[in-house]
Structure 1
Amino acid sequence: MASREFVTCVVCQTLTIYFIVAYENLALNKPAWQKNPYPHRQNVGADLAVDGRKANPPKSDGQCMLSHGNDTAEWRVDLGGVYSIHHIFLQYMTGTSLWGKDNYFTVYFLGFSVYISNTTNKDEGMLCFKDTNYTKATIPNPINITCPYYGRYVIYYNNRTHPPYPEGYSELAFSDLCEVEVYGCSTPRRFGLACSTPCPVNCLMGRCDIEAGTCFGCVKGHNGITCNEGCIEGYFGNDCSECSSNCVNNTCHNETGDCLTCEIGYIGKRCEKECDLGWYGKGCSLPCGRCRNQDTCNHFDGRCPGECEPGWSGIYCNEKCEDGYFGLGCSFPCNNLNCLNSTDCDAIHGECTSSCISNWDGPFCNYCAPFKFGELCNNSCSDSCPENRCNKTTGHCFACSGSKYGSFCEYEKEVYQLPANAFDANIGFIVTSSILIITLTGIAIYVLKQKCFPKCRTYRDQSYELTLTPSTSGGYANIQTVQLEELPELKTSEIHESPLSPVSTFSVDYINVKANEK
């Protein structure tokens, strides 16, 4: 178990002795290390300084550590964790002589320092003590150093690196310690003589002064030496929550947390919302400029992420092009010489905003006005061009009016004039001729039909009847002569089952002819 330092209080009236348990020795038998250990000697290592044995007088006979002199001397003990420390006890080696100005070892310890650190690097810790006043006659042994801090490592340090040294100092530094005891609370978050009182709940990391119980720091939002007072500025509520970072100066209502004022680019009770698209600035009250491609501007400063729309300029793209310029970045000069005012043009496209000079037309006044043509548009189209329109370069008419012809409609066509009654006579002739032609056509069709029938009948599988009359010569007169060649598609016929000759005269009253298909 850790050794304990006892404070004895004698109450004389009752002769009763009370032992009040104080702080524990946190360094007892803990790992120790030293720089420049004494060579070629056993049982003189760094751990002898924390073995709990206090020699009286402290000699070097197996009870004290020894070191080899050098320009720096260093020793440390690892407490094994971060503890609340009250004070540190140091005892130097004295040898066989009494401690005082004539003691051989006093010169080695003058100018020493003691640190508490959470790492093995003393410069990352807290300086508890540095000797600047002791002399050979006044340096005490042992010595108690009050150091109410938290730490894991207790470091003893001395150096002889910057001569000349004060009177009485040795040329080399040593760390010949017999005992080092570190007293404090082994139970975390405690303070008081018996380490029985909890530190205030709002102390940072639960750490407080080992004697007074005051906090070394407060958790966020709390205030006061014991961190139990109202929230500091920038915090609100019962648990002292942090105000929104979007509140100006992180200041908010100490109860609701509502921001008193929002940072630029934010709105809302707690300034939690960025400006709506198209707005920026304090209170999101400023409209964005004309960013290209309808991009929205930065909600803080209003700057466009890229270029401005054509016709606009400035860091916020809210400035129209200066007179005489137009386009992207307002980088194109107005140079429409045919504008009534050649430097006055539309800021976006460069079109003339005033009218054109005489004979010119169009948004840019760059082509001829109606009825005009030529390089300078100072020539007029011919009056014979329909609506006085012509090619703007050559002046040629697209068509000509009336009897005019030629590229410029400059020529007149000759027209033959008929007598006044010529039109009526012609109409009579045409009507009479038409009637005659129709009549003759009808007669011809009728005659053809009469002549063709019946031999023109060529229907398949039909019977044809031919009438024959007897002749006066005892034969048969050929009243109707039938040429077989005149009957298309008729090859054979049956007349008393006899074949027909190419031309035949028959003395029968009727001949039934049956058509056969080819």
Structure 2
Amino acid sequence: MAFKRVLFSKNVFVLLFGIFTRTSADGNIAALKTAEQSSDYFDYKWLAGAAVDGCETTNIESNCCTHTMTDGSPKTAWWRVDLGQMSSINTIQIIYRNEITKDKERTAGYQLYISNFTDSPTHGVLCYEERSITKDTVQLKITHRCPYVGRYITVYNYRNNPKRYEWYADDAILSLCEVKASGCPVGFHGDGDCSQACPDSCYGGNCHSNTGFCFQCILGKYGDTCGQDCSVNCKDRLCAKDTGYCTDCINGKYGDTCGQDCSVNCKDRLCAKDTGYCTDCINGKYGDTCGQDCSVNCKDRLCAKDTGYCTDCINGKYGDTCGQDCSVNCKDRLCAKDTGYCTDCINGKYGDTCPEDCSVNCKDRLCAKDTGFCTECVPGKYGNGCEHNCSVNCNDILCEKETAYCIDCVPGRYGSICNQKCSDNCKDRFCDKVTGNCTECTNGKHGDACDIDCPKNCKDNVCIRKTGHCYDCIIGKYDATCALTCPVTCKNFVCDQQTGQCLECYAGKYGFVCGADCLDTCTDSTCNKDDGHCISTADHKLIIIAVQAVIIGLLIAAFITTVICLLRIIQNRKKSSGNDKESSVPDPNYTSLSNEQEGAPHVYEMIVK
């Protein structure tokens, strides 16, 4: 069985004693107390109480020993005594049966527990485990130092499969002749009689059953009997029980009893308890106790506490303590703190510390800091260092820096470096830079390269570049390529370029190709070109005269109306000037000279008059 782990809880209060020099002389607090065991070999003898009856005879027939069951091959066995109350235990003595060879095989491997509960035999603190390697080394009478506080003492044995050692007994059997415990009830001590109370300053009222020394002290106390006060500078008033040394110090103090002041240069006045070394320094200081000044070249006066090395440098400086100057060729005098390498260079320089000159062919003398390659070239140059000349066929001698490809070509040239000639049939020798196709053709040519003749019947010998279709045809021709002849019946031999329909017919003719005759009844033999309907010359004249008469009448009416309005306005002004107080509202008693309402004459009446 694996070793049981020591358990500490609010329900089990367990305290280790120190190493004592005195021999225990107190009484047996287990004597005649209530005991029980996992099973009884007989119902009337060898019961659990036999191990606390004061009889130490190790012969089973003396009825001074216990014995658990053997039937059924038990794999666990336990015996337990109830001390009756929480007790400060010093030692526990085990006296095992000692009369047959199997006694050592049976007792080997037992465990001794102290606990406050009985829910499990192994619930508590493991005080001792028998781990003899050989049967001969097993002790059947032994005293164990068990400096713990508890109520129950349990002896436990088990047999795993496989057993720890082959010589172990197969079954778990306990046969205890006596179990004795020295100590006192909690809160008392004394040399055998437990008549004296533990000091009030002992934590929980617990002390050593012989000496009366406290196991632990209440807060703020230390010493054997916890009669001395911890330093007021101890954090939370906690100090070591034996020495009084503070567990930790309040802010600003250090030392065993926290009686020394941390340096004023310690940040927040915090320092190590043992050495007084500052946890951190205030700005501008470094060292164990922050007594040294950071370099004035440290940015914000910040430096490492241990070395004094600057966290960063002010502009223009570099190095551990920022004591070196950045190169004058560094842009804004900025360089890396560790190497002094420029962050960037001033115009015209490159390199780690910018000592090298950029090429004169770099536009604005700008080049990459690491390589010196030009950012851009002056006109007419290309290459990393702009050391090569662009082609003379590049328009304005401009080409791309990396490829030398011309941005554009001079007239008459095309290609990436403009080394190919445009067709002579390209108008003004202009062609596409990539394909060489003409932008426009000279008269009489069409096609991408303008190498195909326009149709001969195109007017002015001009046609569309892509299709070769005529923009217009010479007189007497129509169709996209002007290959068809207009009808001879068309007036002046002119027809529509797309359909071949006559645009105008000779007198007395009408129709699509002017092939039909107008009716003889049409005046002057004139008829509509599309449907042949007559157009009368007399009717034309009457319509014109009627229109002219209407226009003249409207003009006369407008003139008369304007004159009448002006006369009324003049008359009203004279009346108003003669009498300023005269109302502009007509007199309700006013009557007209006639029964008819006055008004402007109708336009047609005026024409008749």
- TM-score grouping bracket, smaller chain normalisation: 0.3 to 0.5
Q: Which one has the bigger strand percentage? A: 1
